[in-house]
Amino acid sequence: MLNSLIFIALPYAALALLLLVTPYRFLSNRLTWSAYSTQFLERKVLYWGINPWHYGILPILLAHVLGFAFPGLFKRFLGNPETLVGVESVLFGLGAFAVLGVLLLLLRRVNSGMLKRVTFSSDWLILYLLLFQAGTGIYIGYFMRWGSQWYLHTAVPYLWSIVSFQPQIEYVADLPLVFKLHAACAFLIVAVLPFTKLVHMLYLPVDFLKDPPLLYRWRSK
Amino acid sequence: MDVRAQIVMVFNLDKCIGCHTCSISCKNIWTDRKGAEYMWWNNVETKPGVGYPRQWEDQERFKGGWVVDGKKLKLKAMGKGPTLANMFFQPNMPKIEDYYEPFDFDYGNLAGAKEGKDQPVAEAFSQISGKKIEEIQGGPNWDDDLSGSQIYAAKDLNLKDKKVIESYDSMFMQYLPRICNHCLNPACVASCPSRALYKRGEDGIVLVDQEVCKGWRFCTSACPYKKVYFNWNTGKAEKCIFCYPRVETGQCNACAHSCVGRIRYVGVLLYDADAVEGAALKGDTELVEAHRDVILDPRDPEVCRLARENGVPEQWLEAAVASPVYALVKEFRVALPLHPEFRTLPMAYYIPSLSPVLSTWGDTHKLLEHGMIPALQTLRVPIGYLASLLSAGNEGVIEEVLKKLIALRVQMRAENLGLPADPALLQEAGLDEAAAKRLYRLFTVAGYNERNVIPPQQREEDDPQRRKQEAGFGILKKTRGGSK
């Protein structure tokens, strides 16, 4: 029951929300599409929170996504035990960094009067979700060793079965509870993403890298 | 040569009385909103003074504008790679305290307080946190008129010799009204990773597309004039829009319209877009001349031909000929760009003020060279100070302008009193009698339609049927792009 909720109902609900709500918000209310930076009002704690968080979580997120996209490549790459140990330690360090960052970001909102007017329930929701996600992540990293290896043999085939609409939860059904919570939280984050300021991660500023410095717009051309 | 049109404002500092009417009319129309309480798209600051936001001219701190790197221009703050790396925390961004924490007063308490021994008061509270403010730390024009202050005026970066403001004999003061300069080489536009800021091709107005802006905040520090603001409520950048809804219909901006001293002139300039980068690459002392060289003569048939080719409408070409801005900036060469050394080619120009004479009692009459009109060297505002503000340190440029203003005064005073004028003085300053007449008229009696020559936009020129089919009735939206 718990398994089918976490591994079948949740991912499809999350995917449906992501795929339907995101374009709706983009087309109907782009004025709210912002990273909602609060650096203007409070910057001291932010510096120590936001940098560790982003620089910690981005490589980890990228590793998850790439492992999902190219499992064969990663199986070969991590076949060498020394590489595996190296990768695990680096990712664990980055994870700890991210947890520290998101914890500071959360406490910063608790303590700063200036941020009260710009803190909404959605901010609390995503901060708690991200803290839980990063926390369970490093717990798994520490107590369930070689995750970067077994992830490729359990979660990745399961995720592929989800996106090909033939869910096979037996890949992940027998894993410990903490893994299930980690997965459930991941799906929750995907589900709330289109409703919150997390949408800022759907926009990668890359066009400006190739554009000329000055942008003109002509009404007539 | 790529001829384009730009709508430009000129400020005559001699006539600014620092009444802040411009700021108020701007505030009432555009920034009287949550998140924008602290913004003054138009502000008037006292010089010498720290300005708004505090010490905005300090580019070592805010890293605004451009610098010359070998033979290329680059943003002072960072290149494109570091922009990506600093996306999460933007190191050079001004914070709210650099402006001021906006506040209001709890007037409700005056009527609603419970009966007590003391008279109820309206306490100040922060418009951001809502908390009571015990002691207000700053506000709009916090250093207004404090040009002798050691806390504010002494920190003015343009004031090289701080002793000047320490004694009543040499202390001086003037006002500096500022809006967004709608630069030809805007650093804010270049710094935006979302490409939300753009310059309108037809009139050169620089705008932020609120739908594209993601709030990365690089523009707020890249603008060396600190005229792009961060709205803490919407999480996006905002700036002066040159009142485009008014200007498009041929009315002048709210700030210029409400100006009590009538110090502002609005008009069209034609410029060569291909020459902009070259001008910004010039050395500090040549920058003002480079500015003037970018501006083209609207009476030159070749310029007109190329302008027409570029789609500049006939009405705009006529307005460019009648433009008071062209007369003041290029013909008479009396209006100068603010801090040209930031290399954004600002398109707001300032006529330096002809300040009172600096003298000690008893010496006064010896200092007056031309009857009642002061000599250049005895002016109260140090020429070096004006040069630091308006000509990147080139004192020759300032002297040339002040000489003209002095000669003009001598001439007009003589004419008024029926005294013989000295034509040599005018000639020496580079003016003749006809020019003096025109300048005098512009400075004094010119009416609304002489001070503001604003051609309406040519939306009706598009085929209306086609426009209706393609664009519906709303504003034509293009999320990204347009050509260079």
The structure tokens listed for B293 are: 């060289």
Could you tell me the pLDDT band of residue B121, with boundaries at 50, 70 and 90?
very high
Chain A, window 46-75: residues with a beta carbon less than 8 angstroms from a chain B beta carbon: 46-47, 50-51, 53-55
Q: Alpha helix (H) ranges present in B102-142?
A: 108-112
Q: Alpha helix (H) ranges present in chain A?
A: 2-4, 10-28, 44-69, 71-77, 81-111, 121-143, 147-153, 155-163, 177-192, 207-210
Report the pLDDT averaged over residues B121-142.
92
Residues A151 and A67 sit within 8 Å (Cβ to Cβ) = yes
Give contacts of A211 with chain B, Cβ < 8 Å.
195
Report the pLDDT averaged over residues B372-400.
88
Cα atoms in the Cβ-side hemisphere of radius 13 Å centred on B88 = 17
SS3 A130: helix
Mutant choice from A26, A31, A40, A102 vs B, greatest count of B C-beta within 10 A: A40
Rg (CA), chain A: 19
Give contacts of A41 with chain B, Cβ < 8 Å.
95-96, 128, 232
pLDDT at residue A40, as a whole number: 94
Calculate the average pLDDT of chain B. Answer: 89
ipTM: 0.90
Q: Is B465 exposed, middle or buried (0-12, 13-18, 19+ CB in 10 A)?
A: exposed
pLDDT at residue A169, as a whole number: 87
- CA–CA distance, B96 with A57 (Å, rounded to integer): 29
- CA–CA distance, A195 with B95 (Å, rounded to integer): 28
Domains of chain A: 2-210 (1.20.950.20)
Residue B273 reports pLDDT greater than 80 = yes
- CA–CA distance, A15 with A193 (Å, rounded to integer): 10
Strands (E), B291-337: 295-296, 336-337
Q: Which range, of A144-153, B178-187, B290-299, B394-403, averages the lowest pLDDT?
A: A144-153
pLDDT at residue A221, as a whole number: 65
Question: In chain B, what percentage of residues exceed pLDDT 90?
Answer: 72
For residue A126, what are the CA distances in angstroms to A130, B161, B431?
6, 54, 68
Could you tell me the pLDDT band of residue B364, with boundaries at 50, 70 and 90?
low
Give B469's contacts (C-beta < 8 A, 6+ positions apart): none
Report the pLDDT averaged over residues B175-180.
96
Mutant choice from B89, B127, B476, B477 vs A, greatest count of A C-beta within 10 A: B89
pLDDT at residue B249, as a whole number: 83
β-strand pairing of A216-217 with B3-12: unpaired
pLDDT at residue B376, as a whole number: 80
pLDDT at residue B463, as a whole number: 54
Q: To 10 degrees, the CA torsion angle through B28, B33, B37, B40?
A: -40
Kind and range of the H or E element at B231? Answer: strand B228-231
Residue B117 reports pLDDT greater than 90 = yes
Rg (CA), chain B: 24
Residue B377 reports pLDDT greater than 80 = no
- CA–CA distance, A16 with A10 (Å, rounded to integer): 10
Domains of chain B: 261-451 (1.10.3650.10)
Q: Which range, of A61-65, B248-252, B381-385, averages the lowest pLDDT?
A: B248-252
Q: What is the pLDDT along chain A (221 residues), one digit of tens a residue?
A: 788 888 889 999 999 999 999 999 998 888 888 889 999 999 999 999 999 999 999 999 999 999 999 998 888 888 888 888 898 999 999 999 999 999 999 999 997 788 988 888 999 999 999 999 999 999 998 998 887 888 888 899 999 999 999 888 888 888 899 999 999 999 999 999 999 999 998 888 888 888 889 999 988 66
pLDDT at residue B280, as a whole number: 95
Neighbours of A62 (CB within 10 A): 10
Q: Is B417 exposed, middle or buried (0-12, 13-18, 19+ CB in 10 A)?
A: exposed
- What does the pLDDT look like over B279-337, one tens digit per residue? 999 999 999 999 999 999 999 999 999 999 998 988 899 999 999 999 999 999 999 99
**AA identity, residue A43:** R
- CA–CA distance, A187 with B64 (Å, rounded to integer): 42
Residues A130 and A189 sit within 8 Å (Cβ to Cβ) = yes
Report the pLDDT averaged over residues B452-478.
61
Give contacts of B217 with chain A, Cβ < 8 Å.
37, 39-40
Could you tell me the pLDDT band of residue B481, with boundaries at 50, 70 and 90?
very low
SS3 B475: coil
- CA–CA distance, A47 with B293 (Å, rounded to integer): 45
Decide if B90 and A39 are in contact by the 8 Å CB cutoff: yes
Which residue of chain A comes nearest to B276, CA vs CA? A214
DSSP B55-101: TTT-HHHH--SEEEETTEEEESS--HHHHHHTSSS-TT---HHHH--
Q: Cβ of A208 under 8 Å from any chain B Cβ?
A: yes
Residue B480 reports pLDDT greater than 60 = no
DSSP B240-267: --TTHHHHTTTPPPHHHHH-SS--EEEE
Give contacts of B210 with chain A, Cβ < 8 Å.
31
DSSP B134-173: SS----TTTTTT-TT-TTTGGG-TT-S-GGGGGSTTT---
- CA–CA distance, B51 with B61 (Å, rounded to integer): 15
Nearest to B88 among A50, A207, A220 (CB): A50
Q: Cβ of A177 under 8 Å from any chain B Cβ?
A: no
Strands (E), B334-411: 336-337, 348-351
Report the pLDDT averaged over residues B270-286.
94
Residue with tokens 């305290």: B97
Categorise residue A215: left if φ over 0, alpha if ψ from -120 to 50, beta otherwise: beta
Neighbours of B390 (CB within 10 A): 26
Q: Cβ of A27 under 8 Å from any chain B Cβ?
A: no
Q: Cβ of A89 under 8 Å from any chain B Cβ?
A: no
Find how far residue A56's CA is from the centre of its chain.
11
* Sign of the alpha-carbon dihedral angle for B481, A209, B211, A187: positive
pLDDT at residue B192, as a whole number: 94
pLDDT at residue B484, as a whole number: 35
Q: Which residue has the higher pLDDT, A146 or B340?
A: B340
For residue B224, what are the CA distances in angstroms to A106, B42, B59, B315, B345?
34, 15, 7, 33, 11
Strand partners for B296: B270
